[in-house]
Amino acid sequence: MTLHSASTDASSQRRPLRWPQPLEGSAERIWYGGDYNPEQWPETVWDEDIELMKQAGVNLVSVGIFSWAKIQPTATTWDFDWLDRIVNKLGMADIAVDLASATASPPPWLTKMHPEVLWRDERGDICWPGARQHWRATSPVFKDYALALCRKMAEHFRDNPYIVSWHVSNEYGCHNRFDYSDDAMRAFQNWCKLRYGDIQAVNEAWGTSFWSQQMTDFSEIVPPRFIGEGNFMNPGKLLDFKRFSSDALKEFFMAERDVLASITPNLPLTTNFMVSSTGYPLNYDDWGSQVDFVSNDHYFLPGEAHLDELAYSASLVDGIARKRPWFLMEHSTGAVNWRTVNYAKEKGQLIRDSLAHLAFGSNAICYFQWRQSRAGAEKFHTSMLPHAGTDTQIFRDVCELGRDLNVLSTTGLNHTTLSMSAVAVVVDYESEWATEHTATPTQRVRHWSEPLDWFRALLDNGVTADMVPIAADWDSYQAVVLPSVYLLDERNTQRVHDYVEAGGKIFVTYFTGISDVNDRVWLGGYPGSISEVVGVSSEEFVPLGSDFDGTLEYLDLSNGTVAHDLADRITRVADTTRVLTTYQAPEWTGMNQVPAITVHEFGLGIAAYVGCRLGRKGLAQSMPELLDAMGLQFSDAKQSEMPHAWNEGERTLRVERVNAQTGERFIFVFNRTHDAVTIPVEGTCLIMSRAVCKDEASEGLGTADYVLQANGVIVSKV
């Protein structure tokens, strides 16, 4: 098996955008629908489903995702009749089909005949059938069967006019991200050969002189299998295994994609990512270069962070798509089924959540799933058509959303993209993987939480930032945040230097620039690779916690905020560095009057350094002084000068989509609170959900005041 390393693919040209086109005779609209599993229901239900879909405004469904056992009942028999009937019924009702390759879950007959396709955990135990994704990406046997299915599917449906796209497999790596089998071992060895060339380069990268781990041949490389409770895996090896695992699944996707594309070159292909603030199983930015259009599955985070986390995730998908249209393949109408407590959505959130994804660049709103299942592990996962039927608030909201999407389609939203913010917050999948290691200064600090805290703190100060992958063009923004970007390779280190030197404004936090691409620490004090740019250097980490009596649990800052979990002991400060905030601590801590937040001019630009974990609230409180010191006055900027990076303080979320040719703007305003909020809205109001105009006589005339209730949203066009 030949694997392409992520380091090579990350620099390759991205595939041109190919978007699913409407059925013949139909107008282009925002795609609306969800997963449809007709095989779970008697055919007498199908006609009812289609009538209700039309009532709801559904114009696309994904079919066949988990249908392998139905399509191929045995190794030598195929049954497409039922699938033909439902695809044709849908198409004749003007409902397009996003057809799955059906390879996500192998049927029982396959794993019975070939148990060697089942993945193994780090202890060597087999993942037996009984759920889904019980296959290993590196199995040549499984690949043969999966590609045969892809070939049969493509050949059978190549001329069907109702299929508009291929849905390749489903949520790669959701359950089979890591495999420690011998197949995986051989593939990992080949991956290392491709990446490093010779075994001594692997030894250097992994630092194998530590603990006598030097290897003399690639055959000595094994996956990071179980090494005993409490032991520590080589960090470089573990990081590379995570890279390899992402690449192995990507290679499998590409094989499926290429078989389908060779037979149906007219159909665009995608697979559904799982991008969220905590979703780092695969390097989705690297994967984004291999799909014809980016798709994502997102499920809400319960509680007060619900809207903000959704906005963060949607913005990151937009960054992965490079501000091209993307497809929301799955989200939920209400509760999911996999949490310990599966909270329902609040009143208004079904519509608001969908419009929020739309605001951040999605041109498709789809759910899991159309009709709620009666049996199986997901029977309590909510759907567009719930167990209680059509006389439900969920179904009424689904129909209302369908009408809203039709309005936005007919007024031209499809031809707009998310406007560029002035501020980029950088996300790095590999930094998260590296900080997951169990031998770090504190297990309470990882990469993923800091970008979300910065996104929310900026929102609290009126700025809607763009979430941008580290490989994207973040250095084209007016200001950039590097939030605990633990790994900075030589290229990105140079980008930081060049960006600030040329006049850029950068915010750098603790735990940034600590190690190189192989998780080898940059020497000279933290952040070793960019200390010259930020104008400070720390000689050690100061973890904060209450695990033992008498340990330092937190640190007070002179600006009234409080540091938790981790702080830097900054001991070197450049003469040109300005200290904004220091720690106020007992002398015995060694942290009293130590710099906590600094700014430093470098070349034509300026760099701020935040040397501790402040959390969303501490960052939000520190932000006004920090922005002022950086010369960034977003709160005073006109909306026309700051497209979409402008809000009514911390109460609302404001997002703009813009037509680059005509200049037309669609403005989305969301209430971030549970209290009613009165805000001015410009242009013609198109959509109001849980919102009213205070003066109906002024509605649609220039700017009018609107009241947004909890979970309220307004969409206007200017």
Q: What is the CATH number of the domain that holds 371?
A: 3.20.20.80
- Packing angle, helices 393-410 and 349-359, rounded to 10: 30
User: Could you read off the pLDDT of 192-210 as tens digits, one per residue?
Assistant: 999 999 999 999 999 999 9
Cβ–Cβ contacts within 10 Å for residue 124, how many? 11
**Is the pLDDT at 456 greater than 50, yes or no?**
yes
- The answer to whether 31 and 364 have CB atoms below 8 angstroms apart is yes
- The answer to whether 426 and 481 have CB atoms below 8 angstroms apart is yes
Distance of CA 473 to the CA centre of its chain: 17
> Tokens at residue 400, please?
């209302």
DSSP for 506-534 reads EEEETT-S-B-TTSPBPSSSBSTTTHHHH
> Tokens at residue 210, please?
């530590």
Q: How many residues does the chain have?
A: 718
pLDDT for res 1: 41
- The answer to whether 613 and 553 have CB atoms below 8 angstroms apart is no
Residue 289 φ/ψ, nearest 5 degrees:
-80, -10
Assess whether 407 and 480 both reside in one domain. Answer: no
Tell me whether residue 232 is in a domain. Answer: no
Tell me whether residue 8 is in a domain. Answer: no
User: Could you read off the pLDDT of 663-715 as tens digits, one per residue?
Assistant: 999 999 999 999 999 999 999 999 999 999 987 756 555 689 999 999 999 99
Assess whether 164 and 127 both reside in one domain. Answer: yes
Would you list which residues are annotated within the binding site for substrate?
Answer: 132, 170, 338
Burial readout 499-510 (b: 16 or more C-beta within 10 A, e: otherwise): bbeeebbbbbbb
User: Could you read off the pLDDT of 543-573 as tens digits, one per residue?
Assistant: 999 999 999 999 999 999 999 999 999 999 9
pLDDT for res 3: 43
Burial readout 404-418 (b: 16 or more C-beta within 10 A, e: otherwise): bbbebbeeebbebbb
Q: What is the CATH number of the domain that holds 676?
A: 2.60.40.1180
User: Could you read off the pLDDT of 375-408 as tens digits, one per residue?
Assistant: 999 999 999 999 999 999 999 999 999 999 999 9
Report long-range pairs for 281-284 (Cβ below 8 Å, ≥24 apart).
281/173, 281/174, 281/177, 281/246, 282/172, 282/173, 282/177, 282/245, 282/246, 282/249, 282/250, 282/429, 283/6, 283/243, 283/246, 283/429, 283/430, 284/320, 284/429
**Is the pLDDT at 286 greater than 50, yes or no?**
yes
Query: How far apart are the C-alpha atoms of 653 and 712, rounded to whole Å?
Result: 11
pLDDT for res 6: 41
Average pLDDT, the chain: 95
Q: What is the CATH number of the domain that holds 519?
A: 3.40.50.880
**Closest CA relative to residue 61, chosen from 25, 26, 86:** 86
> Tokens at residue 118, please?
């089942």
- % of the chain at pLDDT higher than 70: 95
Catalytic residue, candidates 171, 251, 256, 430:
171
pLDDT for res 699: 59
Tell me whether residue 598 is in a domain. Answer: yes
User: Could you read off the pLDDT of 644-658 as tens digits, one per residue?
Assistant: 444 556 899 999 999
DSSP for 412-461 reads TGGG-EEPPPSEEEEE-HHHHHHHTSSSSS-TT--TTHHHHHHHHHHHHT
In terms of residue numbers, what domain contains 432? Answer: 423-630
Would you list which residues are annotated within the binding site?
Answer: 132, 170, 338
Sign of the C-alpha dihedral computed for residues 75, 79, 80 and 82 taken in this order: negative
Instruction: State yes or no: cis peptide before 527, omega within 30 of 0.
Output: yes
Q: pLDDT-based confidence at 633, cuts 50/70/90?
A: confident
Assess whether 664 and 623 both reside in one domain. Answer: no
Assess whether 446 and 521 both reside in one domain. Answer: yes
Instruction: State yes or no: cis peptide before 369, omega within 30 of 0.
Output: yes
Where does a domain end: 595, 630, 665?
Answer: 630
Tell me how many domains the chain contains.
3
- Packing angle, helices 199-206 and 235-263, rounded to 10: 120
Cβ–Cβ contacts within 10 Å for residue 269, how many? 22
Assess whether 411 and 427 both reside in one domain. Answer: no
Where does a domain end: 630, 662, 691?
Answer: 630
Assess whether 601 and 680 both reside in one domain. Answer: no
Tell me whether residue 10 is in a domain. Answer: no
Sign of the C-alpha dihedral computed for residues 450, 233, 253 and 107 taken in this order: negative
Assess whether 469 and 373 both reside in one domain. Answer: no
- Cα–Cα distances (Å) from 657 to 400, 414, 494, in that order, read 22, 10, 32
User: Could you read off the pLDDT of 79-121 as tens digits, one per residue?
Assistant: 999 999 999 999 999 999 999 999 999 999 999 999 999 999 9
Tell me whether residue 186 is in a domain. Answer: no
pLDDT for res 635: 54
Tell me whether residue 681 is in a domain. Answer: yes
Residue 650 φ/ψ, nearest 5 degrees:
-90, 0
User: Could you read off the pLDDT of 294-309 as tens digits, one per residue?
Assistant: 999 999 999 999 999 9
Strands (E) across 304-411 are located at 326-330, 362-367
Catalytic residue, candidates 251, 309, 330, 430:
330
Query: How far apart are the C-alpha atoms of 238 and 545, rounded to whole Å?
Result: 27
Query: How far apart are the C-alpha atoms of 74 and 626, rounded to whole Å?
Result: 65
Where does a domain end: 387, 415, 443?
Answer: 415
The predicted model gives 60-87 an average pLDDT of: 98
Assess whether 409 and 455 both reside in one domain. Answer: no
pLDDT for res 118: 98
Does the annotation mark 171 as catalytic? Answer: yes
Q: pLDDT-based confidence at 13, cuts 50/70/90?
A: confident
**Is the pLDDT at 2 greater than 50, yes or no?**
no
Assess whether 454 and 502 both reside in one domain. Answer: yes
- The answer to whether 683 and 701 have CB atoms below 8 angstroms apart is no
> Tokens at residue 554, please?
């937190």
**Is the pLDDT at 638 greater than 50, yes or no?**
no
pLDDT for res 650: 83
Whether the model clears a pTM of 0.75, i.e. scores above it, the answer is yes
Q: pLDDT-based confidence at 634, cuts 50/70/90?
A: confident
Assess whether 54 and 160 both reside in one domain. Answer: yes
**Is the pLDDT at 11 greater than 70, yes or no?**
no
Assess whether 433 and 382 both reside in one domain. Answer: no
Tell me whether residue 510 is in a domain. Answer: yes
Tell me whether residue 698 is in a domain. Answer: yes
> Tokens at residue 227, please?
């090494």
The predicted model gives 6-11 an average pLDDT of: 41
DSSP for 237-264 reads HHHHHHHHHHHHHHHHHHHHHHHHHHH-
Does the annotation mark 28 as catalytic? Answer: no
Assess whether 484 and 500 both reside in one domain. Answer: yes
Cβ–Cβ contacts within 10 Å for residue 400, how many? 16
